[in-house]
Amino acid sequence: MRMERFDRHPGVRVAFTGRAEGNQAAHTGLSPREVAASRAGLAATLGVGPERLSFMHQVHSALVAPAPAPGQAAPEADAIVDLSGALAPVVLTADCVPVAIAGELRGHSVLSVAHAGRPGLLGGVLEATLEELRAAGVTRLEAWIGPAVCGACYEVPEQMRAEAEERLPGISSRTSWGTPALDLPGAAARILAEAGALIHATHACTLEEATWFSYRGGDTAPRNATLLWAGHDRSVQHAPQPGAERTKEEEQ
């Protein structure tokens, strides 16, 4: 596992899990008991209450939803926003680009994660997330781009490359073996930078590095997790989450 801090928001940490922390996805057909154990182990290692972990049901879209509080069902979305700063939003990936975003609203931390796979990235999931944050008045945006398949490994058909380049100029790439490719992490970084966010990146390739689960590398079910949380420094104030309602047990 790799852990990092935010420069503009020193009370916020981000973690990127891999093989050593086990599968964190409950929706891909693996043992629910094993997933629960992996999530509990992750929460314990990070010192984050397991009830703070906030998941979404990812569908490769540009949908943005409020981060579900304890007891709420996971929303169908590919980005979640915690305006309270009290939760630990989680995004699950295995080659797609995980993005963790921190910001400030009336003196407290705001936390968000986005699942920027090829369909979501081209569909505008990051732009939609940034617009949601701006509309709420969030400032001082800062982002971490986690482990994902790199532009030298993400091979695609030429027509797909051309169509993606038309939608997001600069996303085109070539594999290390000379075939058409897409640079998803690079495109994500440009979108975030154009919005004025301070950008950090792990520059870790899930296909090249055995540390991480990789769908293209044969890991069709397990998923890495990227999550961020405000630390237990009580100088960080937590505002109530707007519209929070208690519902059935979370599903992921």
pLDDT of the chain along its 252 residues, tens only? Answer: 999 999 999 999 999 999 999 999 987 767 888 899 999 999 999 999 999 999 999 999 999 999 999 999 999 999 999 999 999 999 999 999 999 999 999 999 999 999 999 999 999 999 999 999 999 999 999 999 999 999 999 999 999 999 999 999 999 999 999 999 999 999 999 999 999 999 999 999 999 999 999 999 999 999 999 999 998 533 233 333 333 332 222 333
Residue 209 lies in a domain: yes
Q: Is the entire prediction scored with pTM above 0.75?
A: yes
Residue 245 lies in a domain: no
What is the secondary structure of 134-146 as a DSSP string? HHTT-EEEEEEE-
Residue 98 lies in a domain: yes
Residue 137 lies in a domain: yes
Residue 133 lies in a domain: yes
Residue 177 lies in a domain: no
Coil vs helix vs strand at 50: helix
Report CA-CA distances (Å) from 235 to 9, 16, 27, 33, 157.
Answer: 12, 25, 37, 37, 51
Residue 45 lies in a domain: yes
Which pLDDT score is estimated for 240?
Answer: 37
- The letter for the amino acid at 188 is A
Which pLDDT score is estimated for 236?
Answer: 32
Q: Residue 104 in contact with residue 128, Cβ under 8 Å?
A: no
Residue 28 lies in a domain: yes
Strands 64-66 and 79-82 come out as parallel
Which pLDDT score is estimated for 24?
Answer: 93
Q: Compute the half-sphere exposure of residue 218: CA atoms within 13 Å on the CB side of its CA.
A: 3
**CATH number of the CATH domain containing 120:** 3.60.140.10
Q: What domain range is 127 assigned to?
A: 2-146+184-230
Q: Which residues pair with 113 in a beta bridge?
A: 80, 100
Q: Domain count for the chain, please give it.
A: 1
Which pLDDT score is estimated for 29?
Answer: 66
Which pLDDT score is estimated for 233?
Answer: 34
